[in-house]
Homo-oligomer: A and B are copies of this chain.
């Protein structure tokens, strides 16, 4: 059922799990990848709560790889994606994650990459 992943015509929101559908194991799995961890951290630290398109995060990978990681983040419920014209604008679902998994995002904020 998660086929072409079409945005809601009214809000532009792409399909995502509701707050009470969030699964800790899925969120942890999404965050267990260092690249995605750095993406989420960048949103938390540098986006100032504003929506940022995928291209805002600087990363030396082909576009298809980027699409993949943002999709994993959205389907696990970590980020929300809203289609606006050409771009998909992203935000971390801080309220939902804080409600369901308090403290988790603080760990992401404090994370330091290995290298």
Contact = CB atoms under 8 A, between A and B. Distances in A.
B104 A24 contact: no
A77 B68 CA distance: 29
Interface in A1-60: 23-26, 28-29, 31-34, 37
A107 interface: yes
Contact of A28 (B32, B102, B103, B114): B32
B34 A25 contact: yes
23 contacts: A23-B114, A24-B37, A24-B107, A24-B111, A25-B31, A25-B32, A25-B33, A25-B34, A25-B37, A26-B32, A28-B29, A28-B31, A28-B32, A29-B29, A29-B32, A32-B32, A101-B107, A102-B103, A102-B106, A103-B103, A103-B104, A103-B107, A104-B104
Interface of A: 23-26, 28-29, 31-34, 37, 101-104, 106-107, 111, 114
